[in-house]
């Protein structure tokens, strides 16, 4: 797996991929479902898989000391993504500049111009760009305009509730390690 730290390390050879965007904290069952869908599309398009993630995580940037604890350090997350068969990880520095970036510019400049995304899969609660104004609808419009496909995965449910990093943290707080184990797969 290739680790690309920062936009400045993108090269022309990184153009052309299927991608997903998120924190992927824990790389839990919900994340694994997204990664499997990404791998299927990579085989169809015959391009590499790419995970776009952030360091620090946006919640850590905005909430500083009030942000939830991580389930995994970056190194552990990278190992889990590698085990999931991901070809590349682009880690963007989350700072004020990125926080202020307009959602359409994020799509046009990064996803289209620099990465040449052919297929993008995001979670059903995905929001991005300045003020979290970017959403699935905006991505679909951009995909129609620029020729890439967008898929929205619905939340994965386990025992009737959504699998999420928050739910895993709650189970950890209650000492329910069996529940944690199940949600992490």
Confidence of residue 140 (pLDDT cuts 50, 70, 90): very high
Q: Which of 29, 33, 65, 63 is nearest to 171 (CA)?
A: 29
Q: Which region, left, alpha or beta, applies to residue 147 given φ > 0 means left and ψ of -120 to 50 means alpha? A: left
pLDDT at residue 115 greater than cutoff 90: yes
Instruction: Please report the DSSP string for 102-146 in residue order.
Output: -HHHIIIIIIIIIT-EEEEEEETT--BSGGG-B-HHHHHHHHHHH
Q: What pLDDT shows up at residue 7? A: 94
Q: Which of 75, 71, 90 is nearest to 31 (CA)?
A: 71
> What is the phi/psi pair of residue 21, to 5°?
-130, 135
Query: Mean pLDDT for the chain?
Result: 93
User: Could you read off the pLDDT of 64-110 as tens digits, one per residue?
Assistant: 888 889 999 999 999 999 999 999 999 999 999 999 999 999 999 99
Per cent of the chain over pLDDT 70 is: 100
Q: What pLDDT shows up at residue 123? A: 79
Strands 49-55 and 17-21: parallel
Q: What pLDDT shows up at residue 153? A: 83
Q: What pLDDT shows up at residue 90? A: 98
Supply angle C-alpha 113, 101, 73, rounded to 5.
90
Q: What pLDDT shows up at residue 108? A: 96
Out of 23-27, 48-52, 124-128, 172-176, which region has the weakest mean confidence (pLDDT)? Answer: 124-128
Q: What pLDDT shows up at residue 160? A: 85
Contact 35, 123 (CB under 8 A): no
User: How much is the CA Rg of the chain, to the nearest whole Å?
Assistant: 16
């Amino acid at each position: 797996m290739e680790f690309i730290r920062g936009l400045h390390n993108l090269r022309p050879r990184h153009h052309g991929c299927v991608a997903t965007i998120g924190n992927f904290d824990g790389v839990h069952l919900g994340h694994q479902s997204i990664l499997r869908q990404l791998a299927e599309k990579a085989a169809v398009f015959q391009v590499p898989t790419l995970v776009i993630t952030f360091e620090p995580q946006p919640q850590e940037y905005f909430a500083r000391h009030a942000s939830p604890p991580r389930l995994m350090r970056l190194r552990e997350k990278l190992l889990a993504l590698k085990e999931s068969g991901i070809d590349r990880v682009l880690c963007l520095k989350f700072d004020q500049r990125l926080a202020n970036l307009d959602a359409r510019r994020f799509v046009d400049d990064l996803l289209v111009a620099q990465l040449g995304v052919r297929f993008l899969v995001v979670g059903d609660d995905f929001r991005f760009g300045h003020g979290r104004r970017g959403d699935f609808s905006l991505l679909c419009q951009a995909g129609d305009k620029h020729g890439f496909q967008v898929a929205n995965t619905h939340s994965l449910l386990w025992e009737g509730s959504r699998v999420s990093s928050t739910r895993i943290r709650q189970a950890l707080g209650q000492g329910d390690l069996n529940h944690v184990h199940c949600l992490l797969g």
